[in-house]
Structure 1
Amino acid sequence: MDHGFFERPILNSPYEYPGRHWELDADGQPTGQIIEDRRKAKFITPIPKPKKHKRRAGQERMVFDEGAGVSTAKQQYDPTPIIDELRRRVDHWRAIGNPSSWGVTPETARLLQHWRHHEFTGVRPFFCQIEAAETAIWLAEVAPNEAQSKRFLEHLANANNDANPELMRLALKLATGAGKTTVMAMLIAWQTVNAVRRPQSKRFTRGFLVVTPGITIKDRLRVLQPNDPDSYYASRELVPADMLDDINRAKIVITNYHALKRRERLELSKGGRALLQGRVGEELETLESEGQMLQRVMPELMGLKNILVLNDEAHHCYREKPRDDDDDEDLRGDDRKEAERNNEAARLWISGLEAVNRKLGLSRVIDLSATPFFLRGSGYAEGTLFPWTMSDFSLMDAIECGIVKLPRVPVAENIPGGEMPMFRNLWENIRKDMPKKGRGKAGSLDPLALPTRLQTALQALYGHYEKTFKLWEEAKIAVPPCFIVVCNNTSTSKLVYDYISGFQRENEDGSTTPHNGQLALFGNFDEHGNPFPRPKT
């Protein structure tokens, strides 16, 4: 294998069009060849059914699978989504020199010029961030006025009618680390400035609902609030100074999807509920109404119309497809439980958005995710792309632009011949030998008896880390490189932690025997078994 990619992965500037890429073989491995063109978007995505489709009785739908191996008569999949064609349209539009010919409002043109050409004193927007915002702008302002561009809008309409009939969604795919928060700020700025200066237009809004999968992400997104001390609009100069007052009129609610669950208004025990209900009385309705839920979660948005939703990590949000008895997917054990959890979370998220749409009205839902793919158990083929995805900047693109670092995978057993190098999909090869969920379940297990493949994978990664550590040490870099291991549950993490850092084994007589960590640089005990005052791991 040519190691050029691993030694010199960066080919493009993060601020310019990514005009070169490393060629990948059929297994996704770099061939060492550099292609003087942009990387194509290659995904498998469900083909949306047209809104109106007449077919004679008894006529079967022909299945076109194109080698993907997942299409059926009930759901076909396309390996060549519409993304590349839309990219070309946006590229052509971007190249138009005269802003008055862009087909957008003067306010939008001003923002586009600012993002593309402003001399930023600090952090400058990446090309991929501007392109994502441009895609949303082009679809909203340009495409509706061009006859030859309406097929993109029809595609979106069909995709949503098929999968999200109550919502109009648009997904922008951006690699982790490529800066989705900045894109959100740009979209909010675009909508707000236009809404303030064009109050009669229904195309724009100053009301925004930002939905996240967890509290941590919610806190990180506070920079989207205009009054935050670190607000991106001012601190990152995403908005010209004379437009900042307009941004202050935005109403932005940032919440996690769990808040969209209707809560009990009256806490009752089972016995108390039965007593109040009576023997033949109607079942008590103690859940808050949709309106009450909205008043609790987003009081700032009450009274506004055409709210724009920004879904962060939107792969958690979808309407599961009804399953048929003859569906091939047969999930059992942990896989079934995982699918049920995924579907429950997705159902809560999308049902909450549908409630907002019914009560307040949503202009559009814009999904931002590095992985806008259907999850296992969704009713769609696992890992297939949301069909309303219209923009893509992949992990490989981000690596080739120097935006994110090259992830390392253990390579000791990554040899040709198998369908999948086992270390790239390590969990599938060791899961049956690992403890179930719950830290207590790891108590009786031996950290030194981890599955051989897991030990080998850790040693392979550690070998690379050790070399890097020495190079940094020679270069007088004070802070050592970081080594991160992600586990599926606390039981596994406890075992792996003890294996790496060392542990004290309790003997039958109550004494303990120290065991040093298997990865020396991460050991928490000295050669005598005494713990370091400051643990390394």
Structure 2
Amino acid sequence: MPQSHNSTSAGPLEVESPIINSPFYEPCCHWQIRKGEPPVKAEGRRAASYYFRVPEHAQRGRRQGGEQDLFGEADVGQEEELALVNLLRQRVAAWRKGELTGREYDGASSVTRELLALWRSEDRMQRLFFAQVEAAETIIFLVEAAEPYRKDIPKIPTDEPGAEARAHGFRAFTRYACKMATGTGKTTVMGMLAAWSILNRIAEPTDDRFTDTVLIVCPNVTIRERLQELEPARGDLSLYRTRQLVPPHRMEELRRGEVMIANWHRLAKQETSTVNGQSARVVKTGEPVEVVKNAGKKNETREIKYFESDRAWFKRIRQELGSGRGRAPHWLVFNDEAHHAYRRGERITDAADLDDDRKLAEKNAREATIWIEGLDRINKLAGGKKKGIRLCVDLSATPFYIQGSGNEVGRPFPWIVSDFGLLDAIESGLVKIPQLPSRDATGAEAAAYFNIWRWVQQKAIQDGYGTNITPEIVMTYASAPINLLAQEWHQRFQEWERFAKKQHRHPVPPVFIVVCRDTRVAKAVYEWLAEGKGGHGEAPPWFRNQPGEEVTVRIDSRVVEDIEEGGTKDETRRLRFILDTVGKPEWPGGKVPEEWSELVRKHNEKVASDDNDGSLKWIDEHIPPGRDVRCIVSVSMLAEGWDANTVTHIVGLRPFGSQLLCEQVVGRALRRRSYALKDDGSEQFAEETAKVFGVPFELVPFKVRESREPVEQPEPNHIYSVPEKVQYEITFPIVTGYQQSGHFDVSVDWNRVSKVTLDPMEIPPTVDLTPLTAPEGALSAYGPGERTKLSLNEWRRQFRDQQVAFRLAREVCRRWQEENGAEAVPVTQLFQKVLFAARRFLADPEKLVRKGDSQACDLLAVGHYMQAAVSTLLDAIQRGTDQSTHELPVIPQGASGRGSTLYVDFYSTKPIYPVEKCHLNAMVADTGKWEQSAAFALDVHPGVARWVKNDHLGFVVPYRKRNIQARYIPDFIVVLDNGLQLIVEIKGQYDDDADVKAKAAERWVRAMNHLGEYGRWSYVVVEDPQKLGAAIDAVSASGWDSEYIELSQG
């Protein structure tokens, strides 16, 4: 049941504990916060939706027909469901669990299954976030999932080119967008999907669903350089190994693929300036393009320039970006920060909509045109007669149409297939919690500093300044909120400084960002903060620059563009290095970039020159230039992909016409500092916050009790196989299931058939659809709008009970054969008996209970009912007593069917214990004494040849738990001198689950010994590690006859 949390109607709505989910699992609950109501923690995951608001022209400093329009409430917008995402969430979850077909990840290749198992494993140094796994799973599902799971999924819209693009031979290509909040790990998702595509293509070179040629397009040079870790050729330094995205034995295969990384600027066509030493204009080689400069002005000029042809462009791009390793003719493309990659729409944008951001809109349009046209050319030329782009995956926190796109600003891309939005990220602890002003002494419904720009406009009108908001007017009012927030920043700074001193580290300061409307406002803010100029009151003293101590930097939009394009001017390069190292106490990898060393050398030469009047100070190249930055004044939102995690405060001094822009600005402060779990066993992160003024982002006003001091993380220990101890290597088979070696009879035990209830109150077959948007944009049970009723009545008329029985029996038989082997029982014999049982089941009112107007065919419509019916019939099937049949293990072919201690390589912050008769350098201890005691007993026992703890080893025993496929991970593998191999479990307390696991292990041992190809095995369980030696003696004395030894404390 949802739990209510106390809240007073007079105060702001607050959630005392905003983090209510673990980052490693699907969200199990969410906060419901509605205007005027206390917050409620509701069970289940929040439905995917987006908040749309018509751009607010009134906030852009123009009179639209009177003060009422200027200051009146704009359209507050509405919440709209992402229906496709919600449907896919259900289908992917069902596919993950095998709910429709009884097989997890049905349809996925063996390579894909191996990767998914690795990604979802809890036994890893850095567990992947659920947000990352879900995004990758959704893309894989759309490519590989079996038909029952993809049935009735609406056709996902493609990115159709316009008439002009079609005339050039450009065709649509498939795009799937993953919406992931800033800080949830988009780069890792790209690595997961790149590995998935490449390894599958290497395994099946003719399977055109996959490709080993990957292109990543990103917005700027900063991201491009950071994404170099996705290059497989980097080996152990690549993300595939540092984040354990690929098993070690697959890395050599992965290196056969090709990953190209380019910022969008690289996709622009180049002018053919010369041909064989002559001007291209003279020989007229290339494609002529009319270039217009200063359009619409008196000095407008036009000239013809010649650019490379499409084929020449493609040849050049292939040579510049690629290594030629990729063999597939078609490509997998990732659009990083994909909201920049769109086709221009035909929507006529209101002039007021562009007044203050016309340059930004023009920049966006140019960027999108070059980006998309580049992909169109690849799609046209890379694949020959087929499409050159097999799949394009968009990743963005905000995959919506942006200003200047010619589309409705704030509307989402129609091909969004997964969504882990900001609220989900906050409730899972993946990001900082943004806190915005909610009340102040004005008594107004909206606090003044919630939307500083609107507040400044109002004050300017009231004070007689008119509507022309100059930088001076802005600073007249904006200095107050900046100062107020700076006081809180200073408190945070002192706390961080004290913590750093206790750790004997150089203090890295929190970062304060001011996002301005234009360069004039930015200049005024910078001069006030960094230089003490302007006469706008006393500036916070902590942001004042001193000779040789630059704590406040200014980043104009022009500089941002130069940085994004990889500009070569010294000042551009200097600012790029500052931004790249904000919050970093040392250079990444401990290596000073050569380019920075060159800049420092030039600067220090000027310091040593006679022309230096003392204002220039010597720079130590070993100190990152952004380490001590406290404040950044910027016109732009700062470069996307900027990974600084020390931003704690933001002030917005500009109009915000959409929630999209608000989220992008707030996103600069969302990256967490610490990913250490709380020590209360909750598997949750501690709260971290970001204070935000002037960015009217309508989100839950969270109030938290945050841990001020960062959680210190212990230094991890490296656990690996030691080449010099190869004599202790242990290999083992990887069993995925079982099958029968011969024929046997079956029967259905009717007494074991459980009751299944069809209840409309639990799963309604009739639904009223009602618009649930209240005027304030919150969900409401009441409201105007047409109601629509949906029911199963028309669908029910298609089926008779005989058809239902036939389909039910077919599903039961298919599931049974998957588990027992297709040849175990002749299919006709099996089907006849199951069909008889299915008909009896449907006709028996005690077995199939129909409440209300439920009908038998509802089994086919509701997966919950169908799975219940299939499971109960499966459990009732009894095998015959023919002793000539044996169960054999199912072991995949090739490397995926063989495990070894050779591949163990991981890090752990847990205590370690020295080992001798083990291939590894040490053992990670998960218990206080028991595992250490067992390790000592194994090392000193004369009959033990070698042993290993089953930690990051990949050895599992498959079994079914409540009709769900599960994996049992025993404690140890031990090999005796006589060759007998033991699966050892140390179990201090028995329960039902332990008994189920023991039976699963016995089944594994019997099947393996019947197969006889992997030596002799036995299963040993002890309740006390002190008894382990005696258990080994007992199994040795049994002469290999015993497949199960249990030694209790008694």
* CA shift in 2, pair 1:11/1:347, >3 Å: same
Give unpaired runs (5+ residues) of structure 2. Answer: 1-10, 53-74, 163-169, 291-303, 383-387, 461-469, 548-613, 618-627, 632-1050
- Work out whether residues 22 and 34 of structure 1, in 8 Å CA contact, stay in contact via their aligned partners in 2: yes
Amino acid at match of 1:316: H
CA gap of 1:445–1:30, structure 2 versus 1, over 3 A, is same
- Secondary structure at the counterpart of residue 354 of structure 1: helix
Q: Name the structure 1 match of 2:27.
A: 18
1:338 offset after TM fit, Å?
2.9
User: What secondary structure is seen at the aligned counterpart in 1 of 2:208?
Assistant: coil
Give the superposition deviation at 1:140.
0.7
Aligned to 1:48: none
The residue type paired with residue 252 of structure 2 is: D
Q: Does 2:214 match 1:208?
A: yes
- Aligned equivalents of 2:350, 2:528: Cα separation in 1: 40
Identify the match of residue 345 of structure 2 among 304, 314, 321.
321
Distance 2:432 2:264 in 1: 30
Q: Distance in 2 between matches of 1:131 and 1:333?
A: 40
1:383-422 superposed matches below 5 A? 383-410=410-437
Alpha-carbon distance between aligned partners in 2 of 1:231 and 1:37, rounded to the nearest angstrom: 37
Matched residue, 2:134: 131
TM-superposed CA distance for 1:495, in Å, is 2.1
Q: Equivalent residue for 1:381?
A: 408
1:89 matched residue in structure 2 = 91
Using a 3 Å threshold, how does the CA distance of structure 1 residues 42 and 205 change in structure 2: closer, same or farther? same
CA apart distance, 1:23 = 1.9
- What percent identity do the matched residue pairs reach? 34
* Residue pair 1:133, 1:187 contacting (<8 A) in 2 also: yes
- What SS does the corresponding residue of 2:402 show, helix, strand or coil? coil
**Larger CA deviation: 487-496 vs 204-213:** 487-496
Q: Could you tell me how far apart the structure 2 residues matched to 1:487 and 1:400 are? A: 30
Q: Of residues 107, 113, 119 in structure 1, which corresponds to 2:117?
A: 113
The one-letter code sitting in structure 2 at the alignment partner of 1:296 is R
Secondary structure (helix, strand or coil) at the match of 1:210 reads strand
Structure 1 residue 342 and structure 2 residue 343: aligned? no
Alpha-carbon distance in structure 1 between the residues aligned to 2:439 and 2:264: 41
In structure 2, which of residues 180, 193, 201 is the aligned counterpart of residue 187 of structure 1?
Answer: 193
Alpha-carbon spacing, 1:331–1:244, altered in 2? closer, same or farther (3 Å) = same
CA 1:355–1:159: 2 relative to 1, 3 Å: closer
Number of the residue aligned with 2:978: none
Whole-Å separation in 2 of the counterparts to 1:38 and 1:251: 38
The 5 Å alignment of 1:134-283 reads 134-142=137-145, 145-146=147-148, 149-152=150-153, 154-156=154-156, 158-161=157-160, 166-228=172-234, 230-266=237-273
Which structure has the larger Rg?
Answer: 2
| Corresponding residue for residue 60 of structure 1 | none
Query: Any idea what the Cα deviations from partners look like across 1:119-144, whole Å, max 9, x if unmatched?
Result: 222x221110000000001111116x
CA RMSD after TM alignment: 4.0
Pick aligned residue for 2:485 from 461, 479, 496: 461
Gap runs ≥5 in structure 1: 46-67, 72-76, 435-443, 506-513
| Corresponding letter in the other structure for 1:160 | D
For residues 50-89 of structure 1, the aligned pairs below 5 Å read: 79-89=81-91
Give CA deviations for 1:285-326 in whole Å, capped at 9, x if unaligned. 7311122222222333686412000000000011122236xx
> Which residue matches 2:312?
292
Residue aligning to 1:59: none
**Whole-angstrom distance in 1 between the partners of 2:251 and 2:145:** 25
Do the aligned partners of residues 92 and 257 (structure 1) sit closer, same or farther apart at CA in structure 2, a change above 3 Å counting?
A: same
Q: Distance between the aligned counterparts of 2:271 and 2:401, measured in 1? A: 31
Aligned partner of 1:353 in structure 2 is 375
Distance 1:8 1:484, change over 3 A: farther
Kindly provide the amino acid, as one letter, of the partner of residue 141 in structure 1: E
Deviations 1:25-44 (A, max 9, x none): 36xx9953222221221126
Q: Is the 8 A contact 1:313 1:368 kept in 2?
A: yes
CA contact (8 A) 1:502 1:517 kept: no
Separation of aligned partners in 2, 1:264 and 1:413: 58
Q: Does residue 33 of structure 1 match 2:40?
A: yes
1: CA distance, partners of 2:28 / 2:224: 35
Matches within 5 A, 1:499-514: 499-503=528-532
Give the deviation of 1:166 after TM superposition.
1.5
CA gap 1:382/1:282 in 2 versus in 1, 3 angstroms: closer
Q: Distance in 2 between matches of 1:32 and 1:520?
A: 40
Q: Give secondary structure in 1 for the equivalent of 2:512.
A: coil
Q: Does the CA-based 8 Å contact 1:525-1:531 persist in structure 2?
A: no
Partners of 1:501 and 1:517 in 2: how far apart? 12
| SS of the residue 1:227 aligns to | helix
Query: 1:213 offset after TM fit, Å?
Result: 0.7
Aligned to 1:305: 329
Query: How far, CA to CA, are the matches of 2:450 and 2:158 in structure 1?
Result: 32
- The residue identity in structure 2 corresponding to 1:87 is R
Whole-Å separation in 2 of the counterparts to 1:79 and 1:415 = 36
Change (3 A) 1:381 1:413: farther
Q: Report deviation, 1:80.
A: 4.2
> SS of the counterpart of 1:155?
coil
Task: Give the Cα separation in 1 of the matches to 2:151 and 2:406.
Answer: 29
Aligned 8 A contact 2:95 2:104 in 1: no
Q: 1:515 to 1:450 in 2, by over 3 A?
A: closer
Return the structure number with greater relative CO, CA threshold 8 A, min gap 6: 1
SS of the counterpart of 1:34? strand
How far apart are the structure 2 equivalents of 1:227 and 1:431?
55
Report the TM-score, using the length of structure 1 for normalisation: 0.77
Please report how far the alpha carbon of residue 167 of structure 1 lies from its aligned counterpart in structure 2 after TM superposition.
Answer: 1.7
Work out the CA distance in 2 between the residues paired with 1:415 and 1:82.
Answer: 44
Q: 1:354 to 1:426 in 2, by over 3 A?
A: farther
The one-letter amino acid paired with 2:143 is A
Partner of 2:515: 486
- 1:519 to 1:207, Cα distance in 2 relative to 1, 3 A: same
What secondary structure does 1:397 align onto?
Answer: helix
Which amino acid in 1 is paired with 2:159?
Answer: N
Opposite residue 297 of structure 1, the aligned amino acid is I
SS at match of 1:358: helix
**Residue of structure 1 equivalent to 2:165:** none
Q: Which letter does structure 2 place at the counterpart of 1:191?
A: S
CA apart distance, 1:276? 6.0
Query: What is residue 526 of structure 2 aligned with on the other side?
Result: 497
Q: Does the Cα contact within 8 Å between 2:161 and 2:172 map onto a contact in 1?
A: no
Structure 2 residue corresponding to 1:522, chosen from 536, 540, 543: 543
Confirm or deny: 8 A CA contact 2:314 2:378 kept in the other structure: yes
Amino acid across the alignment from 1:120: R
8 Å contact from structure 1 (residues 312, 367) kept in 2? yes
CA distance in 2, matches of 1:339, 1:282: 23
Q: CA deviation at 1:407?
A: 2.6
The structure with more strand, counted as a fraction of residues: 2
Which residue pairs with 1:56 in the alignment? none
2: CA distance between counterparts of 1:416 and 1:112? 54
**Following the alignment from structure 2 to structure 1, what is the Cα–Cα distance between the partners of residues 533 and 410?**
42
TM-score for both structures, normalised by structure 2: 0.41
